[in-house]
Structure 1
Amino acid sequence: MAAPADISPTIVETLYRDALDLADETRAAFDLSGRLDQVSSDEDLARIALSCEALRTTTRMMHAIAWLLNHRAFFAGELSEFQLRRHGRLPPAQSDGDPQQLIMLDPELRQLVDRTKRFYDRIARLDRAWRDHFAMQPAAVHRLRERLGNAVQRL
């Protein structure tokens, strides 16, 4: 059986650079100048929608960056594994925005929001795997494959 995978400094550094790029793109995209779609007849409601989603999206990215910074500090020897496991937990994902508010944003902003969600989900999967020491939890397919292999051996 192969040794379980682990997170490496290279993975963390690559994700960190990606996170900074995505956070910068998010900051620029949510600049209030001209980012409102003309779908809404009430500009105030559209500005509220934009502000809410901007806060939700930038918070999501800052949580991901904080998690990556903690892991960078661990690999640099600035945090022990105990400290990282105790204080470096990724906060739970935020709830999705109100669909009625999201529709007020232009399609490019909605795509950016989705990209930040996918990035955060990726970090969350890494966090869960790291906390479980990358122990494999066999899925149904793996269990079925094992049973089939055992049955073939008995023939």
Structure 2
Amino acid sequence: MGNSRLTMAEPLTINPRIIEALYSEALVLADDVRDAFTLSGRIEEAAGAEDLARIALSSEGLRTTTRMMHAIAWLLNHRAYFSGELSEFQLRRHGRLSRDMRRSDPGQSDILPIEIRRLVGATERFYDRLLRLDRDWRLRDPGAPSAIANLRERLERRISA
């Protein structure tokens, strides 16, 4: 029981399996965001509504879409790293997740339908998860061998044995 507590306290390392699972989740969320904020089906709805409601829909749509595009870009950088297309140095330098991503405006989101508010909240929670992963990964000792280096070392040992 003592070992499982120690393991639970350690931050998760980023590995290809985690990145692939998060990438799949991000694509589903991004598709839901696209469907929710597509104006083609909402123009008639918003036409009779107040200008404030149209502005809220546009603003939250832009914020939410931007949040998901940043998340997907971060995940794509990590996928490129794990496939050997980026070095750890390049990933650390250019694969940074923005900590300044704007949150939903409570005044505007209160105007939106509950389904859209839930979706916006889901994208914020998803982005927060990525921020925690990014922070923990960046706090890891950069001199320590990466997951790719460990994998290569294991493969080389098996090949030479």
| Cross-structure match for 2:42 | 34
Q: Distance in 1 between matches of 2:110 and 2:126?
A: 21
Q: How many equivalent pairs are there?
A: 133
Does structure 2 conserve the Cα–Cα contact (< 8 Å) formed by 1:6 and 1:130? yes
CA distance in 2, matches of 1:97, 1:35: 22
In structure 2, what is the Cα distance between the partners aligned to 1:6 and 1:101?
37
Quote how far apart the aligned CAs of 1:92 are: 1.4
Distance in structure 2 (CA, Å) of the matches to 1:72 and 1:99: 34
Q: What one-letter code is carried by the residue in structure 2 that aligns with 1:52?
A: S
Structure 1: 4+ residue segments shifted above 4 A: 1-5, 35-38
Q: 1:71 aligned to 2:78? A: yes
Cα deviation per residue 1:110-147 (whole Å; 9 max; x = unaligned)?
Answer: 0000000000000000000110118xxxxxxxxxxxxx
Tell me what 2:92 maps to.
Answer: 85
Q: Note the residue ranges of structure 2 that are not aligned, 5 or more in a row.
A: 142-161
Q: Counterpart in 1 of 2:68?
A: 61
Q: Is this contact kept in 2: 1:26–1:58, CA < 8 A?
A: yes
Deviation at 1:109?
0.2
Equivalent residues of 2:81, 2:87 under 8 A apart: yes
Q: Equivalent of 2:131, from 119, 124, 128?
A: 124
* Structure 1: 5+ residue stretches without partners: 135-155
Alignment of 1:14-33 (within 5 A): 14-32=21-39, 33=41
Provide the rounded CA distance (Å) in 2 between the counterparts of 1:114 and 1:101: 13
Identity of aligned residues (%): 60
Q: Which has the higher helix share?
A: 2
Q: TM-score, normalised by structure 1?
A: 0.77
Q: Deviations over 1:7-44 (max 9, x none)?
A: 11000001001000100000001122238989xx8522
| TM-score under structure 2 length normalisation | 0.74
